[in-house]
Chains A and B, each alone.
Chain A
């Protein structure tokens, strides 16, 4: 079972995982579900990096990258969750349609 086959097997599942996350991002009307969509894509990318490290023999490097990535991810999600709570505090709703105030 060589590295490239394993890589392809992982990609076969990682790509749909990303698509599911993107679909969630696009179709949702709820702030929290937006964050869940982002998280799903992040999981897919994390797995992508680890399996790339495995296949190329650079597992140590890949792990270092993933560890830093996880730290950054946690900070971003915490700030995002904070923003969502503030939005809820002001609007009493998590519907993104209700906050289309700025015209963009």
Chain B
């Protein structure tokens, strides 16, 4: 339990760092770190299949997408970069305070909250459920991937 709490705290901290750090590249690394922590938490809860997906796709593929976007949109000089992010901290310093306030609010509200749970269902394997019950979702995934392919073509194809 103590391990879970520390990983949860680590998730929050890496996300906080991703938001508050000045450099975009470090922000992306913070996001990747958050993904890794989420993966660890999912393993701890027993969601192995989802955890593997999260690790390979989010911590992997999406980080690559972000890194390439950041790399391709670098400004010409580092002075420009510095100039742009000069006011960064000024806009973001309220965040930790807000989080502390929310944290205290939750610490007060949560222990007493009634949370209803559904009647227990049969345990089954995620792969089984995905292929037998959620077939419509898979059809949707196919459609989304097709849309993504068109998106890449429209956005990245060179105009002759």
Number of A-B contacts (CB under 8 A): 219
Q: What chain B residues lie within 8 Å of A67 (beta carbons)?
A: 49-50, 53, 126, 130
Interface size (B, Cβ < 8 Å)? 79
Contact B123 A40 (CB under 8 A): no
Q: What chain B residues lie within 8 Å of A23 (beta carbons)?
A: 19, 92, 94-95, 98
Contact A50 B45 (CB under 8 A): yes
Q: What chain A residues lie within 8 Å of B129 (beta carbons)?
A: 60-61, 63-64
Interface secondary structure of B, over-half rule: helix
* B56: min CB distance to chain A, Å: 9
Contact A40 B12 (CB under 8 A): no
Partner of A79, one of B61, B134, B155: B155
Contact B57 A82 (CB under 8 A): no
Q: What chain B residues lie within 8 Å of A85 (beta carbons)?
A: 69, 72-73, 155-156
Contact A9 B107 (CB under 8 A): no
Contact B15 A59 (CB under 8 A): no
Q: What chain B residues lie within 8 Å of A74 (beta carbons)?
A: 57-58, 61-62, 148
* A5: min CB distance to chain B, Å: 9
Contact A60 B53 (CB under 8 A): no
Contact A19 B102 (CB under 8 A): yes
Contact B15 A8 (CB under 8 A): no
Contact A78 B144 (CB under 8 A): no
Q: What chain B residues lie within 8 Å of A1 (beta carbons)?
A: 1
Q: What chain B residues lie within 8 Å of A24 (beta carbons)?
A: 18-19
Contact A47 B41 (CB under 8 A): yes
Contact A75 B69 (CB under 8 A): no
Contact A46 B54 (CB under 8 A): yes
Q: A9-B8, A36-B28, A95-B84 are in contact. List 14 more A-B contacts (CB 8 A).
A: A8-B113, A15-B106, A19-B98, A27-B95, A36-B19, A39-B31, A40-B19, A50-B47, A54-B46, A55-B117, A67-B126, A71-B57, A74-B57, A93-B75
In the bound assembly, the distance between CA atoms of A33 and B72 in angstroms comes to: 15
